[in-house]
Amino acid sequence: MKYITPIACAALAMGLITVASDGQAKDKSLTVNAVKAAAAPTLDGMANDAVWAAAPKTDLKFVKGGNFGGKGETTGTIQAAYAGDMVYFLMQYKDATLNYQRAPYQKQADGSWKKLKDPNDKGGDNNVYYEDKAAFIWDIDESIFGFAKRGCQMNCHSGEPGKPYGNKYTEDESEMGDIWHVKSVRSGPLGYVDDQYLDHMRYDPKTAKGAGRHSDPKTSGGYKNIGLKNGMPEFMDKSGKPANKGGTYWLKAENAVPFDDSKFMTGDEVASIKIQKPVGDRGDIMLGLNWKDGVWTVEVARKMVTGSKHDVQFDDLSKTYGFGVAAFDNAQVRHAFEEKPLMLKFK
């Protein structure tokens, strides 16, 4: 078994494991100071609230990812604040391209429908027809050995069969991480962060394809792939607009109607994913998301204490909370990551 080095800070999606790099990771961290706010920010992805003008910025450098202009790296900042029983985060990072074209169906010249795929994808590794994403991972109750010094390097495992990008899990049953996964197509349009967690489960092609990464429980909602029925997508948006002609690459559940093939021409694209906000633990993180002029703005809000065993609990403002962050440019798993672990402190 190999650990991935340096720190893979936030390998958060399906198999999100950072590839090995040269040299050894240095035991350094970045401090993120959360300021007490007089008023909560508006979660609109605009970052023009008074609290963000007052909160100090921590610089981020994301490295070793896919895309990002072929360089696999970018820069950004992160800020934090709290008010009442809520904690807030603002992360901004550069991304020259806006990517919503997540594996859509496209109508072919012969009238058939085909899902667009990355020709080099060997399984869970789409880097052509995907969505922009961002992610946080938290060390729950300081349970993950070595996280404070080496981030989620402790949980990232390369050289394992079955995945082109490795697996992610904790080493021991007592270790657990809280994953906040920002998905511009699957969760962003509904204003929530996909809440997940990490445990010690190992990869199994039949019973544990995600290894230690799991979704938090929910009672209803969530997203689901749209299949083909009678050779065409089962559902479409009631507007009848193709995604590449003023429509969207996601289909909100309340707007879904049976597919009408007569409304579409050769080359038209439609969503392959139907979305609905989860009810329950999985949908308890709020989100404001916006891309403008080559910059993603990610505003996140969550109750400081949720009571869920799958969540980090900010229940002691004198403590320091370790976490990592990552950014994905049209990549399913090949994220760019801030190499150093981040340490949240409440001021």
Amino acid in position 288: G
Q: What region does 280 belong to: left with phi over 0, alpha with psi -120 to 50, or beta?
A: left
Question: Within a domain: residue 50?
Answer: yes
Query: pTM for this structure?
Result: 0.91
Write b or e for each residue in 53-64: b if 16 or more Cβ atoms lie within 10 A of its Cβ, otherwise e: eebeebebebbb
Concatenating the DSSP letter of every residue in 52-74 gives HHHSPPEEEEEES-S-IIIII-E
Alpha-carbon distance 29 to 60, whole Å? 11
Residue ranges making up the domain that contains 37: 2-94+120-216+283-346
Angle 169-171-172 (CA atoms, 0-180°, nearest 5)?
Answer: 115
Token pair of 345 as six digits: 């402190």
Question: Within a domain: residue 276?
Answer: no
Q: How confident is the model at residue 27 (pLDDT cuts 50, 70, 90)?
A: low
Q: What total of structural domains would you count in the chain? A: 1
Question: Within a domain: residue 146?
Answer: yes
End-to-end CA distance of the chain: 41
pLDDT of residue 11: 42
Question: Within a domain: residue 139?
Answer: yes
Lowest mean pLDDT among 97-106, 158-167, 197-206: 158-167
CATH assignment at residue 135 = 2.60.40.1190
Alpha-carbon distance 343 to 325, whole Å? 11
- Asked whether 190 and 253 are in contact (CB, 8 A), the reply is no
Alpha-carbon distance 172 to 307, whole Å? 22
- Asked whether 300 and 180 are in contact (CB, 8 A), the reply is yes
Alpha-carbon distance 126 to 180, whole Å? 20
Question: Within a domain: residue 321?
Answer: yes
pLDDT of residue 151: 75
Alpha-carbon distance 321 to 332, whole Å? 27
Q: What is the mean pLDDT of residues 319-326?
A: 96
pLDDT of residue 286: 99
Question: Within a domain: residue 239?
Answer: no
Three-state secondary structure call for residue 152: helix
pLDDT in tens, 202-253: 989 899 988 999 999 999 999 999 999 999 999 999 999 999 999 999 999 9
6 pLDDT more than 50: no
Question: Within a domain: residue 222?
Answer: no
Question: Within a domain: residue 270?
Answer: no
Mean residue pLDDT of the chain comes to 91
pLDDT in tens, 138-185: 999 999 998 888 776 677 776 787 777 778 888 899 999 999 999 999
Q: Rounded to 10 degrees, what is the CA torsion of 299, 300, 303, 304?
A: -90
